[in-house]
Structure 1
């Protein structure tokens, strides 16, 4: 049989990528939407929990952040297990267990139980996000990865677009069936994760080689292109095992950048319903839920467009840094705006910045690591980076109490976002070392 010409090979790869997008991305997107709902819906339940179980503002901030401690501790082991056993079973396990814990929040009685459940939720969900990022490297060549990652990360704004009205509406069921509004919220959104986790077993496929829904010639072309990408990463750098990847200065540096990004994300997300409530003078409920969707609609539009632009021009770090600066400015302006419309526009700019920069950021570690090292690297970067979700709510409350100002916390978060932009631009220095000019470092599989 005559091997395909270069143009035919490219056409086969393009077809395989389109097929993979249609088959995998919608379901991965659904999983991400549910994951983000279950980790952030405490923002809607905050006021009810304060009244029902006497949860203080400081206890809420500490408990909200504890999720990311459990998440960070188990992130790397989870990703390494997935690399060995495959995404299908491991992703299903993650979803079912986190759904059970998310549902258990309906029975929370006090601060201690709130802390324990938030920590356990992080433990159960650990590995989901970096696992999907790793999974995408099995299916999408480097030239299309920011596009695929951007489609997946549309789950963040979608979760908030859907989650705002849904969570607000569930809170308004307060008293129905003898349950409080926050109990309906945790029960419904937790059980959805369990159901989708079971369905994952029938939808996901571990690797292109085992995809029954892809023609053989497309499998071969896609596998060859992915192998070329791996070879390019390994041409000059030798091999880096996963253990050494955890101590690699580049990996730790990327984790610091990720922490700055996530601090901006969760410093705003965990308080957005109450912030919008204060801006509009309405109680947290369905209407406030609709209003909190507006910034995420804006982010959804930009995340569908900007990663393609960055892929085309190979300007991932520059565009990502500019977006982080915009995010920091938006967070700061939302703190001081006297007009409700200006404040909402500022929140839109903030969301556009920290949502859209993320798929651009996640293309950078793949230039330096692959295989088991990439699995460990993704896990560590995301695990340590997501500690920003622990730092952000606590530093916001600390700043507000220390400076006796309701705006001080937002100014600090805006500054962290700008710091992240500077650090992201500085990753360009990594490519100036002689051993990096030709290709990044690879790992043994």
Structure 2
């Protein structure tokens, strides 16, 4: 007869109490990190994204002043993204070596000055050159910040952190839409065109914030004087648990084998399909809105263009919290992509301005929300040694779509004299992306084994 093992009274309750205490301590430390970092990196992303999309608003008057066709205007953005893609990986490698504080501060000063200099464009060629400079200098910011968040937030908190960071995109689009319309109204002041005022007033703040970065950011939790020793210990334990064990994916254990694995390729392809819509929203929204509001003034177009981003902010916060609460990622990524595809289809097939605007809102909310969920997943399928390059590689692959979208959509617009073909192109890519996501190794907020 086998003896029944007894346990001292209170063993299970003590263990449960210890787990609960650790979880509470972890939540408190993450909350402290959130209060310190998220508002600031949100602000940095606001001006990063503003310097990326303000050419869309400048195009309302700049195209005529510089004699640009839609194809040439789109090519300027394509040149930006070609430079952005080429320098994204090297920039992340440098960040991993010298730290976020020094590198992010340096590139912010550089791209702020380069973006401001776009006011001196006098022809298509000079515009291309200046946008290339902005692309080179801004290339490392988003992948660098995504890597930076993995240093501070355990995976189970990442969707909310990503959402609160990435709402900078729709917030910037909303505020930028409204403010840019008014800035364009400065046309003629002090001998400058409205679009020149736009690049100057929206570019210089990035350079100023770059100086602030040197004094405010810490590279890693162990460098933070605002965290106590116990806070650092709790956070280190949580991050270490998230990173161990973490087998390399791919055929072998080498860095190249991991980065060239089918899993990383699928992540890049899925992001490529998603980013096309993000580029559509960022670059073409003012002109799409103008296409079904032909009699609206630039100020009115700016205000109308602010509606989709407002809807997007609400969707991102709610959906990100829901994804963390459910600890589910795959459907929380696929459903917003499907919503976005339905939105573009609605805008493309309807001739009612209200339905067309509803479609743009659906497309913007769906794609940007999907982006915040997407970036909770790749680092869970990458070893520590591959994270910096892997995240930058996936980001670069996706941004090939940002490079192609302005030229393809611009060419389709010039050829068909309508945005319908471009919207259908975005719809098809989103549906392909959903199919790819179905095959990604995604496992909630937990580790991919």
TM-score by length of 2: 0.91
The separation in 2 between residues aligned to 1:52 and 1:210, in whole angstroms, is 50
The separation in 1 between residues aligned to 2:24 and 2:250, in whole angstroms, is 31
The alpha-carbon deviation at position 84 of structure 1 amounts to 1.4
**Residue 318 of structure 1: which of 311, 331, 344 is its match?**
331
Q: Tell me, what secondary structure is at the counterpart of 1:15?
A: helix
Question: For residue 421 of structure 2, what is the aligned residue in structure 1?
Answer: 408
Question: For residue 86 of structure 1, what is the aligned residue in structure 2?
Answer: 99
The separation in 1 between residues aligned to 2:249 and 2:258, in whole angstroms, is 17
Q: Deviations over 1:358-393 (max 9, x none)?
A: 111111112211423011010011012111111112
* 2:133 is the counterpart of 1:120: yes
Alignment of 1:100-179 (within 5 A): 100-179=113-192
The separation in 2 between residues aligned to 1:335 and 1:174, in whole angstroms, is 33
CA distance change for structure 1 residues 235 and 90 in 2, over 3 Å: closer, same or farther? closer
The separation in 2 between residues aligned to 1:212 and 1:69, in whole angstroms, is 39
Question: For residue 348 of structure 2, what is the aligned residue in structure 1?
Answer: 335
Q: Tell me, what secondary structure is at the counterpart of 2:439?
A: helix
Question: For residue 196 of structure 1, what is the aligned residue in structure 2?
Answer: 209
CA distance change for structure 1 residues 368 and 260 in 2, over 3 Å: closer, same or farther? same
**Residue 227 of structure 1: which of 216, 240, 248 is its match?**
240
Q: Aligned-residue CA RMSD in angstroms? A: 2.2
The separation in 2 between residues aligned to 1:209 and 1:279, in whole angstroms, is 53
Q: Is the 8 A contact 1:242 1:377 kept in 2?
A: no
* 2:345 is the counterpart of 1:299: no
The alpha-carbon deviation at position 35 of structure 1 amounts to 0.8
Compare 279-288 and 184-193 and name the one that shifted more.
279-288
Alignment of 1:379-398 (within 5 A): 379-398=392-411
Question: For residue 265 of structure 1, what is the aligned residue in structure 2?
Answer: 278
The separation in 1 between residues aligned to 2:84 and 2:201, in whole angstroms, is 23
The alpha-carbon deviation at position 117 of structure 1 amounts to 1.3
Q: Deviations over 1:24-56 (max 9, x none)?
A: 001111111111110111111113222211122
Question: For residue 7 of structure 2, what is the aligned residue in structure 1?
Answer: none
Question: For residue 48 of structure 1, what is the aligned residue in structure 2?
Answer: 61
Question: For residue 289 of structure 2, what is the aligned residue in structure 1?
Answer: 276
The alpha-carbon deviation at position 314 of structure 1 amounts to 2.6
Q: Which has the larger radius of gyration?
A: 2
Q: Is the 8 A contact 2:159 2:372 kept in 1?
A: yes
The separation in 2 between residues aligned to 1:31 and 1:76, in whole angstroms, is 20
CA distance change for structure 1 residues 284 and 394 in 2, over 3 Å: closer, same or farther? farther
Q: Is the 8 A contact 2:186 2:194 kept in 1?
A: yes
The alpha-carbon deviation at position 440 of structure 1 amounts to 4.1
Q: Deviations over 1:191-219 (max 9, x none)?
A: 01101111111221111111111121111
The alpha-carbon deviation at position 18 of structure 1 amounts to 0.2
Alignment of 1:246-265 (within 5 A): 246-265=259-278
Q: When the two structures are aligned, how many residues end up with a matched partner?
A: 432
The alpha-carbon deviation at position 311 of structure 1 amounts to 1.7
Q: Is the 8 A contact 2:87 2:140 kept in 1?
A: yes
Question: For residue 45 of structure 2, what is the aligned residue in structure 1?
Answer: 32
Q: Is the 8 A contact 1:396 1:413 kept in 2?
A: no
Question: For residue 73 of structure 2, what is the aligned residue in structure 1?
Answer: 60
The separation in 2 between residues aligned to 1:403 and 1:67, in whole angstroms, is 25
The alpha-carbon deviation at position 404 of structure 1 amounts to 6.0
- Gaps of at least 5 residues in structure 1 are 432-437
The alpha-carbon deviation at position 322 of structure 1 amounts to 1.2
The separation in 2 between residues aligned to 1:371 and 1:80, in whole angstroms, is 13
Q: Deviations over 1:243-295 (max 9, x none)?
A: 44432322222111111111011123211112212222345522211111100
CA distance change for structure 1 residues 353 and 35 in 2, over 3 Å: closer, same or farther? same
The alpha-carbon deviation at position 400 of structure 1 amounts to 3.8
Question: For residue 371 of structure 2, what is the aligned residue in structure 1?
Answer: 358
The separation in 1 between residues aligned to 2:418 and 2:173, in whole angstroms, is 27
**Residue 182 of structure 1: which of 185, 188, 195 is its match?**
195
